[in-house]
Each structure stands twice: as C-alpha cells, then as structure tokens.
Amino acid sequence: MATVASKLYSDDVSLLVLLLDTNPLFWSNRSTTFSQFLSHVLAFLNAVLGLNQLNRVVVIATGYCSCDYIYDSSLTLSGNSESGRTGMPALFGSLLEKLEDFIDKDEELIKEQEHDERIASSLLSGSLSMALCYIQRIFRSGHLHPQPRILCLQGSPDGPEQYVAVMNSIFSAQRLMVPIDSCYIGTQNSAFLQQASYITGGVHHAPKQLDGLFQFLTTIFATDLHTRSFVQLPKPVGVDFRASSVFGQSKLDGASTVSDKKRKAPDS
C-alpha cells in the first residue's frame, strides 16, 4: 500500500505556504508599489502551481496587528466571480478579495489600539504559527501529502517583542522538518529571517532590485525540496546570531561589518 501511494505522489510535489507582508506602514513609503509587488508574487504563485499538478499553495497575509489565511489553492475552484474583471487570472480573484477584506479588518484593529509606539513590524510570529498549524493539519491528514515548506516574503523590520514567539516557531518548524525560506525586501537586515532559514535549512536571500523580484522568486524559491539536493542555491555568507531581542540590543543600521557576523560554513 505504501509503495503504491508513493508512486502516486512523485517526490517533487510541494506545498508552499507563502507569508505575505501587508504592513501598510512599510508599503507606504516604498518606491515599489504594493501592486507591482503583488503582480510579481501572483505570477510566481502561478508558476509554482504550474510546475506540478499536485502542487499546492497557501497564502497567509501578515498584517500590522493581525494575520489571516488569504488563499488556499486546494479549496478554490475555478473562478466564477472574477470572470467579469479583465486581466486578472480568475484563479486569484478570491485571493485579492480576501486580501482586501483582511486589510479592512486590520485597519479596524489598529484603530482600536491606543498606543502605537512600537516599531512598524508586521506580525511575523503570528503568521508563522498559522502556517505551522496548517502544515500540521496536512501532516495528520494521511500518508499522501506533499512536502511542505514556508516562504516568507518580508520587508518590515524585526519586532523584538516577537523574538521568543518567532524562535519558538522556528524550532517547531525545525522539528517538523519544514524549511523556512525567506526573501527579505526591506532595507535593513532581518536577523529573524536569517536565523529562521539557517536553523530550518531553508534559503535566505535579500534581493536588491525589486523590479526583478519575479526572477529571484522563480530562480531561488520555486525549487522543491527534492530538487534542492542537486541544485546549488545562493547561501548567505554569514548568519547574524546576535542576541537581538529580549534585552533589546540596538541594531546597527545599514550593513553590518563582516566581522560581526559569525562565519559559518553552510552544509553543502
């Protein structure tokens, strides 16, 4: 029974959980607009789904003070309500709709909050936890499941108050053997993402040019786990392991000097 099942599922079937950064405070002062960013991302998702018929994609929006599931490719049937709109693949009609609803909810939540004096970070820990919960559910659904991985598209800076929660999620992912890839599109370094990718065995990259984001995504982050054993992916020179959290060491802005980063020979 097991061998038959494995034939049904080839080893390059992947489940991609995408964590999308929808922090308005980050997107409000960027040269690249959110729409451009979204178009790259949606095309990328399409490409992933096209790689294998059995691939699945889940999108979770990381807001300022909330997170939510936006899209699940296994649930969405071929579009019905989007046939009227032009240019947009029907596949993502529901995604965008839900995204809009989510942003409205997030706005509501932020109005209720009294003080907003924390760093404009997105709720990474929340979305990581939601992703892991979804993956856990997939694991328990039966023998036949694709190999899951998490892709974190983040631009907001790290929120030190989320350090413990993020580290917990990272270690949970490590135990589940779910790699966390991270694509950082912000200005500063994100120690959280670097550590997440390093610990779980994922890929971290910070592309400089955002208009080529699609190329970055398809070259680096579209490879499934099986393929990664014989494809060389870019590895960071060092991982920033500074205790950047609970006791709030101030981070250096700009690029850290090389000597600050620990040199680690990554596993080839």
Partner 1 sequence: MSDWQVKYKSSLKDRGTEGILKLREGMLLFVPNDPTSDSKLKVLTPNIKSQKYTKEGSKKPAWLNLSNKQGDSHIFEFQNYQDMHACRALITKALAKCEEEQPKKPAAVLTSAEQLSIADLELRFKRLHKEFVETKVLTEDEFWATRKKLLGKDSIRKSKQQVGLKSMMVSGIKPSTDGRTNRVTFNLTSEIIFQIFAEKPAVRQAFINYVPSKMTEKDFWTKYFRAEYLYSTKNTAVAAAEAAEDEELAVFLKPDEILAQEARQKIRRVDPTLDMEADQGDDYTHLMDHGIQRDGTMDVVEPQNGQFRRSLLQDLNRHAAVVLEGRNIDVDSENTRSVAEALARVKQVSKADGETTKDANQERLARMSRLAEMEDLQAPQNFPLAPLSIKDPRDYFESQQGNVVNEPRGAGTLKRNVHEAYGSLKESILEIRTKGLRDPLIKPEVAFEVFRSLTQTISTAKNIIGKNPRESFLDRLPKSTRDEVLHVGKLKDAMSNSYSQLEAMKESVQSELRHQLSLLVRPMQQALDAAFQHYDADLQRRTAKSARGSAGEANGSV
**Which x/- pattern over 198-237 shows residues binding partner 1 (rule: CB under 8 A)?**
---------x-x-xx-xxx--xx-----------xxxx-x
Parallel/antiparallel/unpaired status of strands 262-263 and 238-239: antiparallel
Fill in the amino acid letter for 97. Answer: E
Return the H-helix or E-strand segment holding 110: helix 93-112
Q: Report the distance separating Cα 209 and Cα 194, nearest Å.
A: 19
Q: Which two tokens stand for residue 142?
A: 């039966």
Fill in the amino acid letter for 254. Answer: G
Residue 54 CB contacts under 8 Å (≥ 6 apart), including other chains: 9, 10, 13, 146
Q: Which is nearer to partner 1, 11 or 211 (CB)?
A: 211
Parallel/antiparallel/unpaired status of strands 56-62 and 67-72: antiparallel
Among 6, 10, 83, 85, binds partner 1 (CB under 8 A): 85
Among 79, 138, 161, 186, binds partner 1 (CB under 8 A): 161
Query: Under rule CB under 8 A, how many of the chain's residues touch partner 1?
Result: 60
Is residue 151 near partner 1 by the rule CB under 8 A?
no
**Which x/- pattern over 16-55 shows residues binding partner 1 (rule: CB under 8 A)?**
------x-xx-xx----xxxx-xxx-xx------------
Q: Which is nearer to partner 1, 6 or 215 (CB)?
A: 215
Return the H-helix or E-strand segment holding 152: strand 147-154
Fill in the amino acid letter for 28. Answer: S
Q: Which residues bind partner 1 (CB under 8 A)?
A: 22, 24-25, 27-28, 33-36, 38-40, 42-43, 64, 85-89, 96, 99-100, 103-104, 106-107, 110-111, 115-119, 157, 160-161, 207, 209, 211-212, 214-216, 219-220, 232-235, 237, 246-251, 253, 265-266
